[in-house]
Structure formats: C-alpha cells, structure tokens
Amino acid sequence: MEHPENSPEYEGLTVNSGVGPVSIVNPYLKRGRFARHQLTAGDYVEGILRGNVSILGQAVTLVESTNPSHQSIAQEVIEKCLPYSGNSVRVGISGVPGAGKSTSIDEFGIHVLKEYGGRLAVLAIDPSSERSKGSILGDKTRMEKLSVHPDSFIRPSPSAGSLGGVARKTRETIVLCEAAGFDKIFVETVGVGQSETACHSMVDFFLLIQLAGTGDELQGIKRGIMEMADGIVINKCDGNNVDKCQLAATQFRNALQLFPMPDSGWQPKVLTYSGFYALGIKEIWDMIYEYIDYVKKNGYFEYRRAEQSKYWMYESINEQLRNNFYQNPTIADMLLAAEKSVLEGRRSSFIAAKQLLDSYFALLH
Ligand code: GDP
C-alpha cells in the first residue's frame, strides 16, 4: 500500500509497509496432530486391562457422562470388563462430616498398601454434590499421602443425577477399577442415611466411623445405619479424649448386643483409634480381613455379592423407567399443569399421578 507519508511533501521520511497481524495459531501445525484421538470401546478395554490409569480415568469420565453416545460406549466397556472384575475387597467407609474420613482413609490406604500390597482405588458417593456442583468426597487434596502413592487411584463422587444415579455410576466404576487390577476398593460416603444404604449395597464390609464426646453417643445415629455396620470405629481416640472414646465404645457394644445376629453370622465389632496419630489402624484392618476370611468360608461373601447384583438390576430398571417418564417431552409439559392443579387443590395427587401415568402408557403404544 502507498503511504501518504512517502509523498515528496514529507521530505526525509520514508515509511515501509508493515506486516499483517500475527496469527495466534501456528500456521505450520498439522491439523489434528495433537487432537485427542477418540478411543473405541476396544481401546478402553485394552488400556484398562493393561492397568493404564489414564485410560481408566477417561473411561470413568464416560461412565459419568450423561451424553447418550458416551453412555453407549461406557456400557460396552463395562460389559467387556465384567469378566475381569470381582477380584477385590470392597470396603465402605461412612461417617458424618468432620468424623475424620479423609484423614483416616489416607492412613488406612497407606496401611493396606504397605501390609497387603496390590492397588487401591478410593471412590465416593456424595448425594450433596449435585447441589454443591462439585463433590467434596474422594477429593485428592484431602488425602495427601495416598494422592501421591503410585498404587492408588482417587476419584471424587460423580456429581450428576439422583442418588440412585450417582451410586450406580460408582458401582460401575468399581467394575472398571477391578478390571484395571485394583484389588482394594474404598467407597467413601457421608453419614446422612440414604447414601449409606447405596454404599452398603456395593461393598463387602461396611465401616462406620463415629466420634465420642457428644454426650449420649447413640443419639442421632439411626438404628438402620448401625444395623448395616460390620464394624464401628471410634475416631480421635487421642489426648484427653481417650476415656470418652472407650466409654463410647462400651455403649456401642452394648447397643449392638440388642440387635439380632446379622445374616453373615459375624458379630460386628467396635474399636477405637486415632486417624490423625495413626494409632489402632492395624487392629481395624486385622478385623476387616478376619471378617473377609470368615464370610468367604461360610459362603456369605458370595451370597452378599449376588444379592447386590440383583439389587442393582432392579435399581437400574427403576432409574431408567423414571428417567424415561420424566424426560418424555409430552409428559414434561403435562407435569407442569398437573403440578399447578394439585397445588391449587383442583385435583388430588393420586388422580393427577394416575392421569399422567395413563397418558405415559398410552404414548408407549
Ligand atoms: P471428614 O469431614 O470426615 O473427611 O473429616 P476430616 O478427615 O477432614 O477431619 C476433620 C477434622 O478432624 C480435621 O481437622 C482433622 O484434623 C481432625 N481429625 C481427624 N482425625 C483425627 C484424630 O484421629 N484425632 C484428632 N484429634 N483429630 C482428628
């Protein structure tokens, strides 16, 4: 371009043509060279069976995805990994926030890897994560030692969907982890009721972490949750808290005596420990492995896993039926109107539900 400054009028000044703006993209880069190659179900399975943690992580992301195309690959991967799964010890670890779950899991994990070898996956079920848009359970930053251990895999709770959906994804992740050679699985959950039932339905041993020193120890802990526990451990048994912990342990033991003997034939034990000072950790794991030996001998181990598979089949049917109903666009429109009429008292809840279901079944034909 001719610059006006180059005219004779501006004697002594010349302006050269400049260069155009530089592209922010390297023009010599071959397109797609660094783009992530879309793996096939076969690639995922092969990577998982090789124990490749990066591929395992990507496969878990697919399991958690709500995208239907991801889901179909995920289901194929799970199906192919199933024959290689099952060979592990699955332990559920539950406790209210502040009970010391992350501190304890860090110590438990280091202990089992040191004493028993193998590989450990830490997964989580956190129903609150849907609301908080991000899980606090299973967070790597809370488990400082384990997160840098070469034989551990830590995965936060899947965050999307109902509790049933979140829990199902965690259960599917167990299959993938086992196929990748993880022979110890911890499933962490917060002690608020429903999520414990879900956790209990996918583990071999359910460990309940409790605290002492809150007055009446048994208050606020639901009978159902205590009945689920295969072992109760009282944390923070250190410093001037030791006596209180021992007293709490006695109270728990007495309370457990009143429950009928569990189907496993195993009388749940109550132990005290300190996750922070790593005291009493060995005793807890001796107890868990003693239980595993016991139920493997009496057949309950296999029985419990078979019952769990049955439970998850029904859970899966229920979840898919529910999703199919609520995601149907015609039903979604009708729901709003029905909800309004119920709120305004123009229709009873039962009639409204029946009409919606009748319309749904009619749509299926
Ligand atoms: P979470 O919410 O159940 O995961 O609990 P955290 O592991 O985050 O622990 C909650 C708090 O209790 C933290 O401040 C820990 O340092 C403390 N804590 C955990 N375990 C112990 C223990 O064995 N003894 C004592 N004194 N404090 C502990």
For residue 328, the Cα-to-chain-centroid distance in whole angstroms is 28
Domain assignment present for 312: no
Residue 198 has a pLDDT of 84
Please give the number of the atom of ligand 1 that sits closest to the Cα of 97.
2
**How many residues are given for the chain?**
365
Do 132 and 225 belong to one domain? yes
The CATH number for 49's domain is: 1.20.5
Indicate the number of domains in the chain. 3
Q: Which among 283, 298, 313 is the end of a domain? A: 298
Say yes or no: CB of residue 99 within 6 Å of ligand 1.
yes
Query: Is a pLDDT exceeding 80 seen at residue 122?
Result: yes
Q: Is the CB of 236 under 6 A from ligand 1?
A: yes
| pLDDT score of 221 | 65
Predicted local distance difference test score (pLDDT) of residue 28: 72
- Please give the structure tokens belonging to residue 320: 């898919």
**Does any ligand 1 atom lie closer than 6 A to the CB of residue 157?**
no
- Output the CA 202–ligand 1 centroid distance in Å: 26
Give yes or no for residue 169 CB within 6 A of ligand 1.
Answer: no
286 and 140 together in one domain: yes
How far is ligand 1, taken at its centre, from the CA of residue 113, in Å?
Answer: 21
Asked whether residue 292 falls in the same domain as residue 332, the answer is no
> Is residue 48 located within the same domain as residue 176?
no
The residue-averaged pLDDT of 323-331 equals 91
Q: Do 153 and 90 reside in the same domain of the chain? A: yes
SS3 61: helix
If you measure from the C-alpha of residue 205 to the centroid of ligand 1, how many angstroms do you get, rounded to a whole number?
A: 22
Task: State how far Cα 113 lies from the chain centre.
Answer: 21
Is residue 241 located within the same domain as residue 269?
A: yes
141 lines ligand 1 (CB under 6 A): no
Residue 215 shares a structural domain with residue 344: no
Q: How confident is the model at residue 139 (pLDDT cuts 50, 70, 90)?
A: low
CA 248 to ligand 1 center in whole angstroms: 18
CA of 98 to the centre of ligand 1 (A): 6
Give yes or no: residues 50 and 131 share one domain: no
Strands 152-154 and 89-95 turn out to be: unpaired
Q: What pLDDT is recorded for position 134?
A: 45
Q: Which atom of ligand 1 is nearest to the CA of 99?
A: 3
**CB-count burial class (<10 Å; 0-12, 13-18, 19+) for 19:** exposed
Domain membership of residue 277 (yes or no) is yes
**Mean pLDDT over residues 119-146, rounded?**
71
Least confident of 135-149, 165-179, 202-216, 248-262: 135-149
Shared domain check, 115 and 47: no
Range of the domain at 355: 328-364
Strand blocks (E) in the chain: 89-95, 120-125, 152-154, 184-190, 205-211, 231-235, 269-272
Name the residue of 276, 279, 281 whose CB sits within 8 Å of the most ligand 1 atoms, as the mutation to test its pocket: 276
Q: State mean pLDDT over 203-218.
A: 80
- Is residue 158 lining ligand 1, measured as CB closer than 6 Å? no
Residue nearest to atom 18 of ligand 1 (CA): 100
pTM: 0.82
Residue with tokens 């997160």, as numbered in its chain: 147
Average pLDDT rounded to a whole number, residues 53-57: 95
DSSP state of 47: H
Are 65 and 214 members of one domain?
A: no
Task: Determine the pLDDT at residue 315.
Answer: 86
Domain boundary among 298, 313, 343: 298
Distance 97 CA to ligand 1 centre (A): 9
CA distance 194 to 225: 9
Helix (H) or strand (E) holding 225: helix 223-228
